[in-house]
Structure 1
C-alpha cells in the first residue's frame, strides 16, 4: 500500500506550524509523508518524512511540486487574511480565490477523493447584529476576506457533492493568542491583550467592556483540524461548511480571567470603543453549533482554561 501523503499549506504560519507538529507527533499519521508549503520556513525540519517546500501556491510549478502526483489529506490554511485582504484586493483574489480553486481542481479524484480541510472564518457572517447565529444563518459577508472564504466554502461543498474531494470547511472563530499578531488584522487586539497583561503593560482596548466575542485557543483550533482529518466520510453529510464551537466571551470577563491568571500584573485596562471594530469583533451574539457538536468538535471548556491554553501558543 502506498504511503499516505499529507499536504499542509500555510505550514509556517501561526496555526499551520503547530498543526504540522501535532500531525507528525500523532501515531495516527506515523506512516505518512508530509509536504509543508509556505512562502518560507523559519526552521528546517529534521524529520525524514517531511519535505518543506518554499513557494507561492499561485505558481503552477509550486502547486505541481506540492501535490506531487497525489495528496491524500490536505489542510489548506494559506491565505491573505483580514485587513491585508482589504488593502490588496488583487493579491487576495489571486491567493484566496484563484490559487485555491486551482488547488481544488488539481486534487479532484472521483475514484479515491482526498480529504480536504479548508480554513474558513466566521467573517462569512459579516456584522452579526443581535440575532443568534446557528447553522442555518445566512452568511452575508461585507469584508473581502469573508466573501472570498464564502466563495470557497461553496466550491468545497460542490466538489464534495460531486465526489471529487471529501471536503470540510471549518469556520474558525477568533483564535488566541498570537504574541506578534499582524497589526493589519483588525482583530489583533484580541491577541495582544493576553501578552500585554502577562507583561504588566497597560492596555487600551478599542471595544466596550460589555462587548462579546467568540474565541478558542490555538490548541483547540489545531485539535479541530486533526479531528476533521479523522472523521469517517459517511458521518459528515451534505453540509460541509460549518462553524466550530467557541466560547462567547465578554471583554471584561476576559480581562477578569487574565487578572486571575496573573494576580501580580500591574496592567491597567482602559476602553476606547471604536464603533466599526466593535461591530465586527465585539458584538457577536449567541452561537449554536449543532452540526459541529454532533461531529465531536469542541471548544476549550471555560474561560480560565481558554486563557491558560491560549498562552501556551
Structure 2
C-alpha cells in the first residue's frame, strides 16, 4: 500500500499557518509530511517564503505522530553541509525520531541569494555528493575535517546526537543523481512518476529502500475555481525540472509560463472534488514503484477544506491503491 503524505508548501503560506496545517494533516490521518525549503516563491501570486527549519521545529512540538521531512533542502549554497548536519540531528531529537533529511542539488530561484553564482548541473551534483558525504560522516558523531573540491570542514563535531541518525533522502532527475542517491541515500525522492529513475536508483544500491514522490492537487467543490487557482499559482510547474532549476526569480517563472493555459494546468493537475480523478493521478506513482506520495494542495487559504475532504473521502480511497 502506498503511503500518502501532506506537503507544507512554504511558498503559499506563512509559518504559523504551516504549523496549523500539519497539525490538521496529522489529525486527518496522513501517513507523513514534507516541507519545501525556499527563499522565494515560484510566483509572486503565492506570496510566501518563511524559514523552513523554524517551521519544522515548531511542527515537531505541535505534532506527536506524523513524520516530518525536508522536500528538499539544498546543502551546498545557502547552507554549508556541516550546518545542515547540525540542523538535522536537532530535528531528529525534537521530533523524537520522526525526521528524515531530504537533500537535492537546488534551484537557482533559492540559492542565488548568497551570491555564489549558479554553476552547471554536473558541478552542482559534484557539490551535492561531497556535501552528503560530509553530513553522513558527521552523523557518526566523530570529529570531521574535510578539505575537498568544494567544501572545507575543520574539526567539526555534533554534540547532541539522536539514538538513530535521520535517514537521508536524495532527489533525483537523471542518471548521475540516481547514482548519488543509490550510493549515499536511505531513500530516493522524485517529483515525476518515472520508473526508469527508480531502476537507476536500484542499480546503484537502492533496492528495497523507500521511494518518495510528490503530486500537486487542487481540491474545491467548484471545479472551475480549482482550475483557476491552480493556473494562478502552479502554472510554473509545467515547464519541467530542467527549466525550473535554472530560472532566477518569480518574474522569470511568470514569463516562462505566459502561454500556459488553464486547460493545460487542468490536464496535468487533478482539480475539483472527484475522488476518482485524484486516485487516478496518484496511480502512476504506485505503478512506477513509489512507496510514498506527498500531496500538495494548491492554495494557502484552502488547506482546511482539503484536509476535511481528504480525511472523509480521499484517504480511504487511496488506501486501496
Same fold, judged at TM 0.5 (above) = no
- With structure 1 as the length reference, what TM-score do the two structures score? 0.35
More helix by share: 2
Higher relative CO (Cα under 8 Å, sequence separation at least 6) belongs to 2
TM-score, normalised to structure 2's length? 0.34
